[in-house]
């Protein structure tokens, strides 16, 4: 009586290939002669291997379901030659079952997702601070305009590969003392696709895409800085075969400014004032970053900073709300104005005499020099403590 391969593997007749493979893997690991202890394990193992050889192959399975002989030696005939080459045992199937391999990978699709792309975009400080929509020229793979991604010349289409007969891979059989060892590799003729393009598109040579430069508009939010990236979904390279495009990442690089120095959300600017202005007090006008924008109102292009009398060199005045807009919250940082007092280096006789008189009035003709002590570190304080200071 012919063997029931479905019953042998313990699966239903409408079982999926994954269910058939899983059942065979479990039984093969249980019944393998190297690990099984039952007396009939060897015979059952051969029966399971024969059942899987038939049910895992779509052509043999179709023959078996229609009542034909898929092995050419009678249904349920078993392995008359045991584990020898004549018995037809596929040792590769056992290895695949043990280690999760596949007896057939099947044809690969020509349509694949494109790769992501990373480009750099240079910005001026004002553009990064206040935001801008800026054009960006990118060179990526785009859909072939001639074949629209099919890869075939107009009026032509892919045909089934004659080498692998549409399977996408080919199997090589090597005889060994364990039986036939089969190795499966992508078909060298079609590259694993199962089809070949006899008349490739002359524009893309069958790839379905071409290289092209294009310009896109990138919206830059206010408050970005160097290193920030903007993610543009589906703006990367179009995939082979006209597949979906990958993503585009735009990395921002902010150029240094000739006047302002940025520190986070704050701007820093240095203003030099004469010694007399620092002593007597004055008001200075400072340019704002808004002055770099083309449509800024005149009242926003500069601010006035009051310099109190007696201002020392290095004094910093913070102007609230004139810094860089915060990227992920409302408000702006400060504009820090550092005042540097300039000592005159070129004096005529009259100016020198006036300064000499001022020094005499302030009793500074022979000023005492005060040396400010530096802060002592941890070891210095410990040394002083042991010394009783």
How far is CA 244 from its chain centroid?
17
Give me the pLDDT at residue 174, please. Answer: 81
On whether both 85 and 63 belong to a single domain, the answer is yes
The tens digit of pLDDT for each residue in 37-87 reads 677 777 788 888 888 888 888 888 888 887 777 765 444 433 333 333 333
Percent of the chain with pLDDT strictly greater than 70: 81
Work out the number of other CB atoms within 10 angstroms of the CB of residue 11: 19
Q: Which residues are part of a known binding site for Zn(2+)?
A: 144, 147, 161, 164, 187, 190, 201, 204
For residue 332, the cross-strand partners are 325
pLDDT (mean) for 240-257: 95
- Give the domain CATH number at 357: 2.60.260.20
pTM for the full model?
Answer: 0.64
Output the furthest CA–CA distance in the chain (Å, rounded): 130
pLDDT (mean) for 288-314: 94
Give me the pLDDT at residue 83, please. Answer: 38
On whether both 203 and 145 belong to a single domain, the answer is yes
On whether both 212 and 303 belong to a single domain, the answer is no
Give me the number of domains the chain comprises: 3
212 phi and psi, to 5 degrees?
-155, 150
Q: Which residue has the higher pLDDT, 56 or 31?
A: 56
The domain in which residue 309 lies consists of: 261-361
Would residue 185 count as lying in a domain?
no
pLDDT (mean) for 167-179: 80
Give me the pLDDT at residue 372, please. Answer: 57
Lowest mean pLDDT among 53-57, 147-151, 152-156: 53-57
- Give the domain CATH number at 46: 1.10.287.110
On whether both 43 and 125 belong to a single domain, the answer is no
- Out of 216, 232, 254, pick the residue that ends a domain: 254
Would residue 105 count as lying in a domain?
no
pLDDT (mean) for 170-195: 84
- How far is residue 180's CA from residue 183's CA, in Å, rounded to a whole number? 10
Q: Which residues are part of a known binding site?
A: 144, 147, 161, 164, 187, 190, 201, 204
Q: What is the DSSP string of 210-230?
A: EEEEEEEEEEEPTT--TT-EE
On whether both 206 and 327 belong to a single domain, the answer is no
Would residue 374 count as lying in a domain?
no
- How far is residue 238's CA from residue 211's CA, in Å, rounded to a whole number? 10
């Amino acid at each position: 009586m012919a063997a029931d391969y479905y019953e042998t593997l313990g699966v239903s007749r409408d079982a999926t290939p994954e269910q058939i493979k899983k059942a065979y893997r479990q039984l093969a690991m249980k019944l393998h002669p190297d690990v099984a202890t039952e007396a009939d394990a060897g015979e059952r193992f051969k029966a399971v291997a024969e059942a899987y050889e038939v049910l895992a192959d779509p052509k043999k399975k179709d023959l078996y379901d229609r009542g034909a002989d898929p092995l050419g030696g009678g249904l349920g005939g078993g392995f008359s030659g045991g584990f020898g080459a004549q018995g037809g045992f596929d040792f590769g199937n056992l290895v695949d079952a043990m280690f999760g391999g596949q007896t057939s990978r099947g044809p690969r699709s020509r349509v694949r997702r494109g790769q992501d792309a990373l480009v750099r975009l240079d910005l001026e400080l004002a553009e990064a601070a206040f935001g801008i929509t800026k054009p960006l020229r990118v060179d990526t793979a785009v859909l072939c305009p001639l074949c629209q991604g099919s890869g075939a010349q107009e009026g032509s289409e892919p045909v089934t590969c004659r080498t692998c007969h549409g399977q996408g891979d080919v199997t090589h059989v090597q005889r060994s003392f364990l039986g036939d060892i089969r190795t499966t590799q992508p078909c060298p003729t079609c590259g694993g696709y199962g089809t070949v393009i006899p008349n490739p598109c002359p524009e893309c040579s069958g790839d379905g895409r071409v290289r092209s430069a294009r310009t896109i508009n990138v919206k830059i939010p206010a408050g970005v800085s160097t290193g920030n990236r903007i993610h543009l979904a589906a703006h990367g390279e179009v995939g082979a075969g006209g597949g979906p495009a990958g993503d585009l990442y735009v990395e921002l690089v902010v150029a240094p400014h000739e006047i302002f120095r940025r520190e986070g959300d704050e701007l820093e600017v240095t203003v030099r004032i004469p010694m007399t202005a620092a002593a007597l007090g004055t008001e200075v006008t400072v340019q704002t970053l808004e002055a770099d924008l083309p449509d800024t109102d005149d009242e926003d292009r500069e601010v006035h900073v009051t310099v109190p009398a007696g201002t020392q060199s290095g004094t910093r005045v913070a102007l609230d709300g004139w810094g860089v807009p915060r990227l992920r919250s409302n408000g702006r940082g400060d504009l820090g104005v550092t005042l540097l007092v300039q000592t005159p280096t070129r004096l005529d006789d009259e100016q020198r005499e006036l300064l000499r008189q001022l020094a005499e009035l302030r009793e500074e003709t022979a000023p005492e020099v005060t040396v400010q002590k530096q802060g002592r570190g941890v070891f210095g304080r410990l040394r002083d403590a042991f010394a009783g200071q």
